[in-house]
Amino acid sequence: MTEHITTVAGVAVDTRHWIGGERVASVRTFTDVSPIDGSTLGEIARGGATEAEAAVAAARTAFPGWAATPRTERARLLRAIADGVDKRLEDLAIVETHDNGALLRSHRRGVMPRVAHNFRFFADWLLRLEHEDFTTRGHTNHVSWDAAGPSVLITPWNAPLMLATWKIAPALAAGNTVVLKPAEWTPLTASLIADIAAEAGLPAGVLNVVQGYGAEAGSALVSHPDVRRISFTGSVPTARRIAGAAAANLVPASFELGGKSPLLVFADADLDLAVDLAVEQYDNAGQVCLAASRVLVEAPVAEEFTRRLVEQTARLRQGDPREEATDIGPNIHPRQLEKIDGFVRRALAAGARALVGGTPHEKLGGLYYRPTLLTGVAQDSEIVQEEVFGPVLTLQTFTDEEEAVHLANDTRFGLAATVATGDRERAARVTARLVAGTVWVNCFFVRDLQAPFGGSRQSGVGREGGTWSFDFYCDIKNTVSAPKGWKGHG
């Protein structure tokens, strides 16, 4: 038993898969490494076609019973999982910080409480999910949400447990069974949530966790003919491959993909607020899909805005994410650091200028990249058009609303946008023209689970949140009843 347990800062984590209510080992393993210092966190079971088949079979077997479970009981179990998250919040925060390098203070105060909220929210929403009956020529129409079947959920490494449970909770609430494939760079809290769900009383096979690489475990899962829903958060190229596999079996798929979101700062904006919004984009070392990495500033205030942004960025404290005073931790993996540095080096070679940063952190070494602000970039340049997914912002200027909207929309993405302005009418005009799934005005990252979430263009397909999640994870049925033909008094 102990050979399959790794200990992370005193927290024991099982490194095996969770399939059909049991721990399952694999012949092969992969090494999980902490981005903080390069230390080995554990040897993780490396699943493939065999484990994928077993997990889907377990989900298929458990599905009829779970789908038939009354809504009130499903909701009770979701709340019990949330209670379990609350009890192990510190363990989850510590393990997640070691596994993905994000700030421990953020995991404690925001991320892990949000994990518990994901389960409670969808438990509550399930109990009030309904559509008012309506009549057609005297016939009654009744809309219902029927569980669809086994669902495959593939999640990223930048916010592993929060984004996993954002999918798990509505899928389970809908009556579906789940196979989760966490990112191979951050598998540990997915194992812990399986333990928490089992302790809460979730029946065997309702939630399964298969660890491994996308080309092995992930590919086998998304191409399985018994899967009825696929939800994926990650890159555009991977989404294309998953879409092909889903199309072969006509399986509905939801994709939340990359972003290259703009922050539009108008001359009438509160500049202190606008600078704060820009600095927020360095959160999680820039590894946030929603980050407004393209800062667009109206020319009359560009010089003053830039001066304040440079000063405030230079004050950010970079270092060990376990320390309370740290503002920015490491990036996730050597490959990601090389990617970030490559983007910046090519931009500088093409004529960009680094007002702050522009290199890996010389003193910290490892996977720490200095928060970077680039100016002198062309709209059609790689650094403006492609997602870096690191602590790198570009700054451009505009002369009027028309140019601002043009620059904001001039990428292949459309995930989010942020607007800073003191004019309500301008805010209404501009937001109406922005191509984005979410637009924030004079704020950033305010998220409510009842709101639709997703991207436009190559930032994604579909919307989730509130009833939109149930619309995706369910087969929606309309039952039409005639006013005649009934016998008796029932």
- Cite the active site residues: 256, 289
**459 φ, ψ (degrees, to nearest 5):** -90, 0
d(CA 162, CA 108): 12
- Contact (CB, 8 A) for 355 and 310: yes
- Contact (CB, 8 A) for 147 and 173: no
- Contact (CB, 8 A) for 440 and 419: yes
- The angle formed by the CA atoms of residues 180, 254 and 463, to the nearest 5 degrees, is 120
* Residue 202 DSSP class: P
- Contact (CB, 8 A) for 391 and 357: yes
Question: Which residues, 6 or more positions from 316, have their beta carbon under 8 angstroms from its beta carbon?
Answer: 279, 282, 327, 328, 371
The 3-state DSSP class for residue 145 equals strand
d(CA 432, CA 427): 8
Rounded (to 5) percent helix, strand, coil in the chain:
40, 20, 35
Structural tokens at position 57: 């079979």
- The angle formed by the CA atoms of residues 50, 235 and 250, to the nearest 5 degrees, is 60
The 3-state DSSP class for residue 93 equals helix
- Contact (CB, 8 A) for 275 and 308: yes
Give 417's strand partners: 439
d(CA 386, CA 343): 9
